[in-house]
Structures are given as structure tokens and as C-alpha cells.
A and B are shown apart, each in its own frame.
Chain A
């Protein structure tokens, strides 16, 4: 069974904001990737940015527009 790890999850209200987050984080070489919005956060569609907990603050400083940040084991 895959071992669950803790991540920082950034959620967005628009896809355009998720794409902007991916663009800036990729350009600034901040680790992370776009994932389907975890159902543990919301049973809705959409994208979320997942990063290791140690990059949470760095992402927070780079991502211009997000809804919320969650700490989630997944």
C-alpha cells in the first residue's frame, strides 16, 4: 500500500489562476505539480497545486491568486 505523505495544497476558484500558479512555480523552480482537486477538500472539479510542506511558504509568496491552503495527508 502506498504510504501517505503530508502535502500543502493550494486551491483556486478559476483554472486560469491554477495555470498562473504552475507557470510561476515552474519558472521559479519551486517543486510541486497540479493535481485534481482532492475530494477530501471539496467534492468539486478543478485543479489544485500540491507541494511538499517545506515549500508551502515559498509557494505562498509566488502564487498571486489562490483560494485556500490545506495541509493534507494523501
Chain B
């Protein structure tokens, strides 16, 4: 089997991830809930993982990072915790439903929503962001790297605009973290997950919240501290970590971070595989590659269609005839597909991981070539 659906979730995890999870299952107590060894061991594990995430994301203060379930959870916290009736928020057509659906909900609750259009390549003009800002604009919610095209925005440039106008920059880093170096200091709130580029287990994600940003928690409850207070702790990270954390998942993420932080070609290898795939398929007759494939900043995601083959059929034939796992359809990004002109048929997405090989890339490219030739007959 060749697994090329790593933008959905990475299948092959670094050595040590499963072992760390089993060890935690057998030894970790409830973190922040006691001073006996199992509880302290869990608390140390959680703290150590925070430190490693802070190193990866280039922030000095690990306490600004809270653990969540995944990016969707983090984005819901960010969007619903900052916007209120009468606010204006700006986003783009490149967004995933994990941004769009919470925004549509806030729109129903009286938040004004502006969606910046993307062009046929799925790119949008940063100048449009500044033009869209109004006196009541509270935030911009921006996709760092598209889960459909892999194209990536310049966060520093966007941050200059949001800072200049005093609005919050909320970033969806689902596809960027683990794909290339990320500096969260450009963002006010940065949302990410642990199971994609970070190669950890599903069920653990995170949210970075810059000091001074006022974010009301979606969930309140047990915190292990200040138990007599009627109000949930307001300080990060406790403010966003009500209830028992997924320590077993965090243990897996910790091991994955060890691998990422100690592997020199962690970003380069994946990018090279995507480039090689692109080179091998770009001349196939009848095949369309979407997005700005020669763009400088991109993650290891390549989406294609073959003329005459709906994306679901192409994806299913890749699986049943070639044992290649890809993802068909709209990838939870309907507005992006509208911009690309693929709303009816969708596209087939190939997404690479550090653990893929050049041989797998060649096999996938050959399969596409064969299917395109057959479709053209």
C-alpha cells in the first residue's frame, strides 16, 4: 500500500510514538490533579510537550500553548471566544469548513462576515484584506496553508496589516505545522493539530494565544486548581484546558516532536517528494494540477484531476487497482473548490509525509499516467 493521504492524517508515525502512548497508558495519572507520582509523571509529560511545542513554534512561553482535541476544536475556541454581536470578521475563500462553519454560526449571532475572493489558482490578494477592514473589524481568520492546493500565505506580511489596524490575526495552521518552519509570533491566535504534519496521534491539537489577547473559553469545569472559585481560571493554559487532558495522546505527540526536532531534513524531504511528484505528472496529457504549483511557499499537497474521470472514480481506481490512498471530493473547502472551478467534480489530493519514498512517488505518477492515457482513449 502507498499512503498519500497525509494531509488528512499521517498514517506512519515516528518510531517511539506508539511506545510512548502505551507507556503513558500504563503509568500516567491525571495531570494537575495530585502530587503522587503517577499524577506528577503526567504533569511533567504535559509540561515537557508544551516546551517542545514552544520550541517548534518559536515562542518563548510554553504556557501560551493550550492542548485541545484538534484544529477544529482550537478554531472554534478562537472564533467563538473572540467575536461578539456587532463585530466584523474577515476571512478568505481558501478556508476549510473548520473556519467557515463556526464563522457562519457567528454570522447568525450578529457578527458581520466578509469573505475575500480567491482566484482560479486559489490565491488571494493580501491588499484585499486591508481594503476590507472597517471600524468594527475585530479579527481576520486566515488559512496558513491550503489543504487543497498546498499554497501558503505570507503570515508576516498579513500580520503587518492586522497589527497596523489593531485587529486580531487568527491563523489556521492545520497544514503548515510540521510542513515547514512556523513562527507563531506573527499571529495573535494560532490553531494547529497534532496528527497531520506533526505525526502524532489523533485527538490532540493545540492553540497558541498571544499574551494580552482576550479569549473567552468555550468550556469550563475542572482545572485541578482554584477549586473553591466559581469562575474557571482565566490564565493560559488552564483557561482553555477544562477537564482531563488526553495525556496518552500528548505522550505520543511528545515522542513525535522529539523526532521532528531532531531530524535535520524533516521539512526538506517532504517538500522534495512533492516537487518530484509535480515534475513527474505535470506533462501528463489530460491531467490538471491545481493551484500555484510553482509557488515558492507550499506544503506537500498536490491536487489533480484527469479529464473525463470524476474525482471519486479516479481516487477509487487508485485505491482498488494500484493500492494508493488519496482523497477525493471537496476536502471540506467548498469555497476554495468554487474558486478553482472544481465544485462539481472535486479533485484528487495527493499529500506526502516524511516517511514516503521516491519509489512511491514514481509509482503514483505512473498510475496517474496510465489512467490518464486510458481516459483519453
Query: Which residues of A come within 8 Å of B, CB atoms?
Result: 13-20, 22-23, 33-36, 43-47
Contacts of A18 in B (CB 8 A): 43
In the complex the two chains form, is A44's CB within 8 Å of B63's CB? no
In the complex the two chains form, is B224's CB within 8 Å of A46's CB? yes
Stretch with Cβ within 8 A of A (4 or more), from B30-38, B141-149, B185-193, B332-340: B30-38
B285 at the interface (CB under 8 A from A): no
Chain A to chain B contacts (Cβ below 8 Å), 30 pairs? A14-B63, A14-B225, A14-B235, A15-B31, A15-B32, A15-B225, A15-B238, A16-B50, A16-B63, A16-B237, A17-B63, A19-B46, A19-B47, A20-B47, A22-B40, A23-B44, A23-B47, A34-B35, A36-B34, A36-B35, A43-B228, A44-B226, A44-B227, A44-B228, A44-B229, A45-B224, A45-B227, A46-B226, A47-B32, A47-B43
From B63, B223, B225, B233, residue with most partner A Cβ within 10 Å: B225
Chain B contact surface mostly:
loop
Docked CA distance A20–B237 (Å): 13
Contacts of B47 in A (CB 8 A): 16, 19-20, 23
Chain B 5-55 residues near chain A, CB threshold 8 A: 31-35, 40, 43-44, 46-47, 50
Residues of B in contact (CB 8 Å), total 24
Contacts of A15 in B (CB 8 A): 31-32, 43, 224-225, 238
In the complex the two chains form, is A14's CB within 8 Å of B228's CB? no
Docked CA distance A23–B46 (Å): 13
Chain B 201-258 residues near chain A, CB threshold 8 A: 223-229, 233, 235, 237-238
Using CB atoms, name the residue of chain A closest to B46. Answer: A19
Query: Which residues of B come within 8 Å of A, CB atoms?
Result: 31-35, 40, 43-44, 46-47, 50, 62-63, 223-229, 233, 235, 237-238
Contacts of A17 in B (CB 8 A): 63
Docked CA distance A23–B47 (Å): 9
Contacts of A36 in B (CB 8 A): 34-35
Using CB atoms, name the residue of chain A closest to B237. Answer: A16
Docked CA distance A24–B47 (Å): 12
Docked CA distance A43–B238 (Å): 19
In the complex the two chains form, is B34's CB within 8 Å of A14's CB? no
Contacts of B224 in A (CB 8 A): 15, 45-46
In the complex the two chains form, is B35's CB within 8 Å of A35's CB? yes
In the complex the two chains form, is B228's CB within 8 Å of A19's CB? no
In the complex the two chains form, is A45's CB within 8 Å of B35's CB? no
Docked CA distance A45–B223 (Å): 9
Q: A14-B237, A23-B44, A45-B224 are in contact. List 6 more A-B contacts (CB 8 A).
A: A13-B233, A15-B32, A19-B47, A44-B225, A46-B224, A47-B35
Docked CA distance A44–B32 (Å): 13
Docked CA distance A17–B237 (Å): 11
A13 smallest CB distance to B (angstroms): 7
In the complex the two chains form, is A14's CB within 8 Å of B227's CB? no
